[in-house]
Amino acid sequence: MKRLLVLFALTVFAGCGVRGGNANVAEAAVVSGAEVVESTAGAQRVDTQRNVQTNTIPDDEGWFEQNTDTQGDILQDKAVSVPVKTGLEVLVEQNFAPLKGKRVGLVTNPSGVDRNLVSTIDILAKVPGVKLVALYGPEHGVRGSEHAGDKVGSEPKDPATGLPVYSLYGAIRKPTREMLKGIDVMVYDIQDNGCRSYTFISTLGLVMSACAEAGVEVMVLDRPNPLGGLQTDGPLVEDGFFSFVGMYKIPYVYGLTVGELATMINEEGMNRGQKGNEKPLKCKLKVIEMEGWRRDMLFQQTGLPWVMPSPHIPQASSAQAYPCSGIAGEMGSSLNIGVGYTLPFEMFGAEWIIKPEELASRLNGLELPGVRFRPVYYKPFYGGAAGKLLKGVQFYFTDYSIAPTALLQFYVMQELHAMYPGRSPKIEDDQKSSMLGKVMGGDTALRLFAKRYRVEDMLDFWNKDREAYLELARKYYRY
């Protein structure tokens, strides 16, 4: 019988559509203008003209049909595939053999669950022959109760298990020897968002350093990169700008799973502390790999439930929008990016934007690949703009595999400057001590952009590290 093609529509919060990359795509990362996407199973081209084309590409699990619409409507994937198994689920299938007879510490948060939404904490606490002895919480805490940036205090005991809980986001970010006392192996199980400034990967690096010093093994239970494994965007961190929101010399969008990233920073000597000036330490590292994940997959294609890893990433689509607006969100109160409203990271708005329809038209006129804009009017429910009428644009991905990610917000700022030159988001002269400079991982791109507020002025610098980084990163691909 002919195999049934299942319609898989990727929808985002409140209707923002997203779709995944092409099956077997060898590489796709867009910086500006027209871009060619090469596939190993059927050549194809996608450019800023969005020509109509349909390709049916065989893969290992079924058939992947792609349709590109000239009007930039939401693209849909039709695929038959085996659901992805996370590292946690693979560990369960292994009957926890790598942990048997060991005393275990666990770094996790609410996103550490199996497909039945059972917490990694509860799973490991009940395994015969495995002794879970302590929990360690990153930003937002083990149970996810803290707001972004709030210091997380250590709790005497976890209410569900009675285990001691140590905070790794407060006065102490790197586990002390006392915190690691009695631990044979430290397990890490957190859903990441694929972006350098998201602090969980920094917590992981500090845990790896502490465990290297104490002779404790580290085990990473791998999970999907929600952006897929093909997108990279942005320059590497510049000297003098290393921080807890930029600890490694990697791009802003780095295109690796957390297990792949842990292996790379461990093997390449990238784990050099929050300021990037410490001697790198190499820990004993084991990664429990996923099964069924492909680099061209967005999270919506994995068959896994999304549990928000932080309060403003309620949906997988929020994670995919995060790198597109998060830098602009650090520019004081100039722009609201949907945080405080129902579409965090998916919008740009301000009181001083008078003509959102014109802004949307100008942005769509740039013919940026894989993304469309619509005018919006909204009132945030909380935050600095609570109750104020903001006007601006919401962006929709028509093809995430070719869309600009971190670069997108600079195109928005470019058009805003052209429309409202006196209202442009202010880029200060000295960024080393600012959160903007830390999140950007440098000030060179900012300085180049601020000369005329034109993306073209920063593109050479923005893209200069891409090929060298990809050559390095490919050495650590596990999928």
Render pLDDT for 51-104 as a digit per residue (tens, 0 to 9).
223 233 333 333 223 333 333 333 334 343 568 999 999 999 999 999 999 999
Looking at residue 33, its pLDDT comes to: 31
Lowest mean pLDDT among 150-159, 327-336, 340-349, 446-455: 150-159
Q: Is the predicted pLDDT of residue 228 greater than 80, yes or no?
A: yes
Match domain 87-301+469-474 to its CATH number in 3.40.50.12170, 3.40.30.10, 3.40.50.720, 3.30.365.10: 3.40.50.12170
Confidence class of residue 432 from pLDDT cuts 50, 70 and 90? low
Helix, strand, coil share of the chain (percent; to 5): 25, 20, 55
CB 274 within 8 Å of CB 205: no
Question: What local confidence, expressed as pLDDT, does residue 28 receive?
Answer: 32
Judged by phi (left if over 0) then psi (alpha if -120 to 50, else beta), residue 350 lies in beta
Sheet containing strand 53-58, strands side by side:
7-8, 77-78, 63-68, 53-58
Whole-model pTM over 0.85: no
Q: Which of 10, 13, 9, 11 is nearest to 314 (CA)?
A: 13
Q: In the β-sheet with 131-137, what is the strand arrangement from edge to edge?
A: 165-167, 131-137, 103-108, 185-189, 217-221, 285-288
**Token pair listed for 31:** 């910086």
**Beta strands 165-167 and 347-350, pairing class:** unpaired
Q: Which tokens go with 470?
A: 């990809």
Q: What is the pLDDT of residues 356-369, one digit of tens each?
A: 999 999 999 999 99
- pLDDT value of position 428: 61
Q: Of residues 42 and 469, which shows the higher confidence score? A: 469
Kind and range of the H or E run holding 38? strand 38-39
DSSP assignments along 328-390, one per residue: GGGSTTS-B-SBTBSSTTSEEEETT---HHHHHHHHHHTT-TTEEEEEEEE--SSSTTTT--E
Domain spans of the chain?
Answer: 87-301+469-474, 316-464
Write down the pLDDT at residue 261: 98
| pLDDT digits 0-9 by tens, 268-304 | 999 999 999 999 999 999 999 999 999 999 999 999 9
End-to-end CA distance of the chain: 31
Residue 419 has pLDDT above 70, yes or no: yes
Spatial separation of the C-alpha atoms in residues 405 and 252, rounded to whole Å: 9
* pLDDT of 230 above 70: yes
Distance separating alpha carbons of residues 395 and 364, to the nearest angstrom: 10
Does residue 467 or residue 54 have the better pLDDT? 467
With a pLDDT cut of 70, the percent of the chain lying above it is 78
H/E stretch holding 440 reads helix 435-440
How much is the pLDDT for 24?
Answer: 32
61 or 425: which carries more pLDDT confidence?
A: 425
- Could you give the dihedral angle defined by the CA atoms of residues 403, 445, 195 and 303, in that order, rounded to the nearest 10 degrees? 0
Provide the pLDDT for residue 423: 84
pLDDT at 244: 96
Residue type, 171: A
Virtual CA dihedral for 51, 56, 59, 63, nearest 10 degrees?
130
Most confident range (mean pLDDT) of 15-24, 74-83, 427-436 is: 427-436
Work out the angle at residue 426's Cα, subtended by the Cα atoms of residues 248 and 369, and round it to the nearest 5 degrees: 65
**What whole-number percentage of the chain has pLDDT above 90?**
73
> Is the pLDDT higher at 47 or at 83?
83
Q: What is the pLDDT of residue 458?
A: 97
Q: Does domain 316-464 have CATH number 3.90.1150.140?
A: yes
Report the alpha-carbon distance of residue 292 to residue 222 in Å, rounded: 12
Question: What mean pLDDT is predicted for residues 24-35?
Answer: 31
Q: Please say whether the beta carbons of 398 and 72 come within 8 A.
A: yes
* Amino acid at residue number 129: G
**What single-letter amino acid sits at 196?**
R
Q: What is the mean pLDDT of residues 105-122?
A: 97
